[in-house]
Amino acid sequence: MQGKLQQSYRVAREIERNALFEGRIALSQLPGLRDLLLDDAVADPVSVRFEFRRTPWGARSIRGHIEGRLPMTCERCLQPMELPVDQDFELLIDAREEDDRSGLEVIRSDDGWLDLYALVEEELMLGLPLIRRHDDVDCNRYWKPSADTGEAEAENDNPFAALAALKGKL
């Protein structure tokens, strides 16, 4: 099952046959993400593979993996960059309250239909780092972190350090 993915899947049927899918989604199909992207016209589609399954305790779930590169603007040097994406996800579909003990996020179907594009878009947005910039800390030689907050601290994905760094610049 390669190639193009559908946008919508009928949950009951796909769970029943434990369906596996693999394919690519153009970034132009993810309108919510587009505003964050530099230029989706030249971007490669993201690769997605996923399965509909029952969890060991019988809840319906969709589990998969997203891979790709998102073209963005580096917040340090304002030049283009590609943010690599390589993330797993698992969501319970229309879970009842007693399924919540799993700690997994829940996604609601639309009358039994699941919108895959919306799911992928949401997962990608949740997976974005708070501050998006080149791995090379010297990509902007004019950019100097203030002495007490420090670049290293902000790089730790610590939202408070990032916030402090931001305030320091204002």
Residues that bind Zn ion (CB under 5 A): 74, 76-77, 134, 139
Of residues 80 and 112, the one with the C-beta less far from Zn ion: 80
Cα 129 from chain centroid?
10
Q: Across-strand partners of 115?
A: 8
Of residues 24 and 134, the one with the C-beta less far from Zn ion: 134
Q: What is the C-alpha separation between 86 and 64, in angstroms, rounded?
A: 11
Of residues 62 and 72, the one with the C-beta less far from Zn ion: 72
Tell me how crowded residue 105 is: count the other CB atoms within 10 A of its CB. 13
Q: What is the C-alpha separation between 129 and 1, in angstroms, rounded?
A: 32
Q: Look at the alpha carbons of 117, 118, 124, 128 in this order and tell me if their dihedral is positive or negative.
A: positive
**Residue 82 CB, nearest distance to Zn ion (Å)?**
11
Of residues 11 and 81, the one with the C-beta less far from Zn ion: 81
